[in-house]
Structure 1
Amino acid sequence: MSALEARQVHVRFGDRVVLEEMNFSVAPGELHGIMGPNGAGKTTFFNVLTGRVRPSRGHVLVDGKDVTGLPPHRIAALGVARSFQIMTLFDEFSALENVALARPAFRAQALHGHRAAIGDPEADAAARLVLDEVGLGSKAHVLARDLSYGERRALEIAVALAQEPRVLCLDEPTSGLGSDGIARIAEMVRRLKGRLAIVAIEHDMEFLFGLADRISVVHWGQVIAHGRPDELKANPWVRRSNLGRFG
């Protein structure tokens, strides 16, 4: 059974068709990449998978359960977490607090979560484990606003991981990073592979081809090619595109 699946997803905004008959699945422990040119529909599709956009028709399933049309918090509660291309952190809170507040135990306490997260030894220990996992253990008490851009990228992934997901959706995780930052994110994602399903939109094709088990190529709102990285290198459309250098 797929951890996350889309069946015949179609999205229309007025007269504009954005997604047309999109099919997609990611298995437990698999990394499935999504690539394509700007305006191809990748982010809209991500938003469908995570509940931010309701499809005009078609279905989204989490562990075989139809979640089509459920709001984002309901889909998140079923084990789907995501990062965003534009980061969404609490800049006035420390790295530790950002992670602690994302844990399920504290999300359930709503406005009282921040108070409960501060100074709770169990919460601190759990949050520190997640920060260690993304290489930010030494920055636990640094305010999010004072972290470097690359560290903020890592923190956003830590916030997603703190939700204890079964599926992690990463939207352009290397966006704006230099070569060192990309290498650190790649190593982090490599460590996570196999533990949970990962779906990643990514423009850095070297990053994606080096990590993904399968890749779907999206263009004009449709999946025009999919397969293992080595299969896509032999695909005529991919070879004619700027991905030819990987062939």
Structure 2
Amino acid sequence: MALIEAAGVHVRFGDRVVLESIDLAVPEGEFHGLMGPNGAGKTTFFNVLTGRVKPSRGKVRLDGKDVTGLSSHRIAAHGVARSFQIMTLFDEFSARENVTVGLPAFRARGFDMRHAAASDPGFAESALEILATVGLADKADVRAKDLSYGDRRALEIAVALAQSPRVLCLDEPTSGLGSDGVQRLAALVGRLKGKLTIVAIEHDMEFLFALADRISVIHWGQVVARGTPQELQQNEWVRRSNLGRFA
């Protein structure tokens, strides 16, 4: 059984059909990439998976449970965490504090950073362990706004990991990164791969083809090709499209 599954997902905004009968099944532990041109419907589909958009029809299941149309908060509670193309960090908070805010146990205390830290030093320890996972343990006390762009990307993933998700959704994780930043991110994702299920929208085809187990190509609101990176390299539609130069 797939851990995350979408069946016949259709989204219409007024008279405009954005997604048309998209199917996706991602087994536990798989890294599944989503690629396609701008305006193809990738982000809308991502928003359906993570509860930000309710589909006009179709189903989304997580570990066999129907989560169609649930709020993003409730889907997160089912084990789905997400990063965004435009980062959403607390700039005045330290890296450690940003991760602490992502801990479910901390959120249950009502977001009072000082009170929670004083009453339970375990929060800081947990946050530091997560920062170590993404290579930021030595920058735990640096404010988010003072981190490099690449470190901010890593911090956003750390905040997502603080939720102990089963599914990690990454929206354009390499966006804005230089070659060194992309290499660091690839190493991080490589370490996470297999430990949790990853679904990623990505325009950097070299990054995606090197890491993904399978890739779905979305165009005109539909999945027009799907397979392993090797299979897509041989796909006639991909080879004839602009995407072929990346594949």
TM-score bucket of the superposed structures, by smaller chain? over 0.9
Which residue type is aligned with residue 131 of structure 2?
Answer: L
Change (3 A) 1:51 1:113: farther
Change (3 A) 1:141 1:113: closer
Residue 245 (structure 1) shift: 3.8
Q: What is the total number of aligned residue pairs between the two structures?
A: 247
Give the aligned partner of residue 45 of structure 1: 45
Deviations 1:13-50, CA, capped at 9 Å, x for gaps: 00000000000121111000000000000000000000
Give the aligned partner of residue 106 of structure 1: 106
Residue 246 (structure 1) shift: 5.2
Could you tell me the percent identity over the aligned residues?
Answer: 72
Partner secondary structure for residue 91 of structure 2 = coil
Whole-angstrom CA distance in 1 between matches of 2:207 and 2:115? 39
Whole-angstrom CA distance in 1 between matches of 2:110 and 2:240? 51
1:209 aligns with 2:216: no
1:130 aligns with 2:130: yes
Give the aligned partner of residue 64 of structure 2: 64
Give the aligned partner of residue 242 of structure 1: 242
Give the aligned partner of residue 6 of structure 2: 6
1:199 aligns with 2:199: yes
Residue 8 (structure 1) shift: 0.3
Partner secondary structure for residue 209 of structure 2 = helix
Whole-angstrom CA distance in 1 between matches of 2:118 and 2:191? 29
Q: Structure 2: any 5+ residue segments left out of the alignment? A: none
Mapping 1:7-46, distance limit 5 Å? 7-46=7-46
Verify the 8 A CA contact 1:233 1:246 in the aligned structure 2. no
Verify the 8 A CA contact 1:101 1:114 in the aligned structure 2. no
1:223 aligns with 2:223: yes
Partner secondary structure for residue 190 of structure 1 = helix
1:76 aligns with 2:79: no
Normalised by the size of structure 1, how large is the TM-score? 0.97
Residue 113 (structure 1) shift: 5.4
Mapping 1:138-157, distance limit 5 Å? 138-157=138-157
Aligned alpha-carbon RMSD (Å): 1.3
Deviates more, 1:115-124 or 1:228-237: 115-124
Q: Structure 1: any 5+ residue segments left out of the alignment? A: none
Give the aligned partner of residue 167 of structure 2: 167
Whole-angstrom CA distance in 1 between matches of 2:220 and 2:115? 47
Deviations 1:109-150, CA, capped at 9 Å, x for gaps: 233356314674211111111101111111000000110111
Change (3 A) 1:118 1:60: farther
Normalised by the size of structure 2, how large is the TM-score? 0.97
Whole-angstrom CA distance in 1 between matches of 2:190 and 2:118? 31
Partner secondary structure for residue 24 of structure 1 = strand
Partner secondary structure for residue 207 of structure 2 = helix
Which residue type is aligned with residue 60 of structure 2?
Answer: V
Verify the 8 A CA contact 1:7 1:22 in the aligned structure 2. yes
Whole-angstrom CA distance in 2 between matches of 1:152 and 1:211? 21
